[in-house]
Amino acid sequence: MKMFKWYWDFLKKYKFKMALGLMLTLLVSLMQLINPYIEGTIIDRVLIKGEVGVLIPLLSIIIGVTVFRCIVKFGYQMMYEHISQDLIFKMREEIYCHLQNQDFNFFDTTRTGDIMARLTGDIDAVRHFTAWVIYNVFDNFLTFTFAVVMIFFVNAKMARILLAITPIIAVVAYKMTNTVRPSFFAIREQFSKLNSVVQENISGNRVVKAFAKEEYEIEKFSRQNELFKEKNLDSSRIWEKYLPVLEFFASMLSIVLIIVGGIMVIRKNLTLGELVIINGYIWALNNPLRMAGWLINDIQRFFASIDRLINLVNEEPKIKNPKHPIQKEKVRGFVEFENVSFCYRDIPVLKNISFEVHPGQTVAIVGPTGSGKSTLINLICRFYDCNSGKIRIDNVDIKDMDKKELRDNIAASMQDIFLFSDTIEGNISYGNPNASMKQVQWAAQVADAHEFIESFPEGYDTIIGERGVGLSGGQKQRIALARALLKNPSILILDDTTSSVDIETEYKIHKTLKPFCENKTTFIIAHRISSVKNADLILVLNHGKIVERGTHGELLQKRGYYYDVFKNQMGDFDVSAVGEVC
């Protein structure tokens, strides 16, 4: 019922149009009854009684009714098509907006292929239901009912005999409905898995080729493809088991009519014309019963799809916006961590992290891979919420700030760079679409990207491929850095941003970045000492804990993890003279 309510919320906007459509369906169903009746009348009056004069008017009525019926049917079919397209347009938009509100946790645990399957296959099942199934259920129900009434009107005895067979057909149809339903859910689930395999294969095609794993990938796809085929066959098996039974009882109607009706004509209890009329209506009894199978099939598909869509829509983001957020349009950038701990699904990643950064200061975070550096900055952006402790910006708990306002104040150049398949200019101005070309060029210059961008024949208008295909690792990093800079935030986060550029370029970037960062709070995550040595505060993370903190000089004096990294990176440099170095 809940499923239907969600669907009805979309459909109710078109209720008057739907009602008009159903009325036209009713008109067409009624008109369908006219022709068999006239055909029977032609037999009785023209062929048997010889009233040739009525032939032309009766034939004209048949042609007129047929033409009119076709026109009306075309009209309401088009109307249903429009309603269904409008409806799924809005449904897609709602689901898409809902997806935008989902947090990292949702995308960590949901396969892209699954989401794509819902937005395509499942939405299409809803379209088909709205455009075709609703009016067909109504049409078939009416056609059947009117045919029964008409047969009663022509010959009540014959009607009772034919009707005795129909409950058997209804029972078979009902049993089929219950048996086939789970198989449709299974098909839709498997379709999602198949989609995920394809999607991952396409996104990861470079890795596949680099490892020459094409055959393995084909096998992986074949397994899912095979399962998809099996699920469809399972459903067809149930279908094929019941369909002949349905067909058998449906054709029984014609057989009974010919035998019983024939005997009644011979005994003069029924005229030949009446037999022809009833025979004409047998189609109107038969067809809805046969169609019932298909319609049940489509209704099951619809319910399976709507169930999956509603599950997606009911998925509540874990990162919630506060009911009454504290307004902070522009923050100064005073960031404070107080005893912050965080787990990824019960696995502790950050433990009791405490530190403070003042506006204009630069904090560097270093530490072995997997020590929790990126996680720490993810918490500042509220991509995840910490399990205990507090993170404050300008003395306000970030959980009390509006999520959008918080993120508007932060610009991050993430470790896992994502560039859109757009122009270079479009990518750089992503966070500040109103920026002028001059500002875009300025950001590119600070990120030391201007020169290589200008070297492309189409400069800033160069379209880059999906995820930045066509650019080197270092070029991608510099475009991502320019994108973050152009946002001109109060808090700038650079997660491994210069790891792929050479030392000289890195030096140039840090030099040009310095004046830009003067009034900002900057977080730099890096493995190279050269990237972090000028920071006001360096935090050394290990196993989710801050194990060392201080400036470059102070940390070298401590001769701990930082000192070891420095020593390794400096090679033959005389590290005994560290006092002089700093």
* Number of residues in contact with Mg ion under rule CB under 5 A: 2
Out of 100, 327, 369, 434, point to the residue binding ligand ATP (CB under 6 A).
369
Out of 55, 70, 82, 108, point to the residue binding ligand ATP (CB under 6 A).
108
Fill in the per-residue mask, 57 to 96: x = in contact with ligand ATP (CB under 6 A), - = not in contact: ----------------------------------------
The H or E element spanning position 411 is: strand 410-413
* Segments of 35-99 assigned E as strands: none
CB-neighbour burial class of residue 346 (10 A; exposed 0-12, middle 13-18, buried 19+): exposed
Tokens linked to 479 = 């475009």
Chain residues 336-355 in contact with ligand ATP, contact rule CB under 6 A: 344, 349
Of the pair 276, 493, the CB lying nearest Mg ion is at: 493
Would you count residue 413 as binding ligand ATP (CB under 6 A)? no
* Binding partner selected for residue 333 from ligand ATP, Mg ion, none, CB under the kind-specific 5 to 8 Å limit: none
Would you count residue 473 as binding ligand ATP (CB under 6 A)? no
What gap in Å lies between CA 80 and CA 566, rounded to an integer?
71
Smallest gap from residue 501 Cβ to Mg ion (A): 17
Q: Coil, strand or helix: which one is 433?
A: coil
Tokens linked to 515 = 């004046």
CB-neighbour burial class of residue 467 (10 A; exposed 0-12, middle 13-18, buried 19+): middle
Strands 335-344 and 388-393, by their bridges, are antiparallel
- Phi/psi of residue 340, nearest 5 degrees: -85, 130
Q: Interface with ligand ATP by CB under 6 A: which range of 202-210, 245-253, 306-314, 368-376?
A: 368-376
Smallest gap from residue 542 Cβ to Mg ion (A): 14
Chain residues 383-442 in contact with Mg ion, contact rule CB under 5 A: 415
DSSP type of residue 359: T
- Phi/psi of residue 490, nearest 5 degrees: -85, -30
* Binding partner selected for residue 344 from Mg ion, ligand ATP, none, CB under the kind-specific 5 to 8 Å limit: ligand ATP
Chain residues 370-409 in contact with ligand ATP, contact rule CB under 6 A: 370-375
What gap in Å lies between CA 259 and CA 281, rounded to an integer?
16
* Binding partner selected for residue 371 from ligand ATP, Mg ion, none, CB under the kind-specific 5 to 8 Å limit: ligand ATP
- Least Cα distance to 280 among 180, 399, 146, 470 occurs for 146
Is there a contact between 392 and 398 (Cβ–Cβ < 8 Å)?
A: yes
Which residues lie across from 392 on neighbouring strands? 336, 397
Smallest gap from residue 495 Cβ to Mg ion (A): 6
Going by C-beta distance under 8 Å and a sequence separation of 6 or more, which residues neighbour residue 75?
Answer: 24
Of the pair 415, 439, the CB lying nearest ligand ATP is at: 415
* Binding partner selected for residue 108 from ligand ATP, Mg ion, none, CB under the kind-specific 5 to 8 Å limit: ligand ATP
* Binding partner selected for residue 372 from ligand ATP, Mg ion, none, CB under the kind-specific 5 to 8 Å limit: ligand ATP
Smallest gap from residue 508 Cβ to ligand ATP (A): 24
- Cα angle 141, 142, 145 (rounded to 5 degrees) comes to 85
Smallest gap from residue 537 Cβ to ligand ATP (A): 17
Smallest gap from residue 384 Cβ to ligand ATP (A): 8
Q: Coil, strand or helix: which one is 238?
A: helix
The H or E element spanning position 409 is: none
What gap in Å lies between CA 491 and CA 354, rounded to an integer?
18
Smallest gap from residue 539 Cβ to ligand ATP (A): 11
Smallest gap from residue 415 Cβ to Mg ion (A): 5
Would you count residue 521 as binding ligand ATP (CB under 6 A)? no
What gap in Å lies between CA 350 and CA 373, rounded to an integer?
9
Going by C-beta distance under 8 Å and a sequence separation of 6 or more, which residues neighbour residue 525?
Answer: 364, 365, 366, 373, 374, 377, 415, 493, 494, 495, 496
Smallest gap from residue 374 Cβ to Mg ion (A): 3
Of the pair 440, 541, the CB lying nearest Mg ion is at: 541
Of the pair 444, 484, the CB lying nearest Mg ion is at: 484
Is there a contact between 450 and 444 (Cβ–Cβ < 8 Å)?
A: yes
* Number of residues in contact with ligand ATP under rule CB under 6 A: 12
Of the pair 366, 509, the CB lying nearest ligand ATP is at: 366
Would you count residue 374 as binding Mg ion (CB under 5 A)? yes
Which residues lie across from 525 on neighbouring strands? 365, 495
- Contact residues for Mg ion (CB under 5 A)? 374, 415
- Contact residues for ligand ATP (CB under 6 A)? 108, 344, 349, 367, 369-375, 415
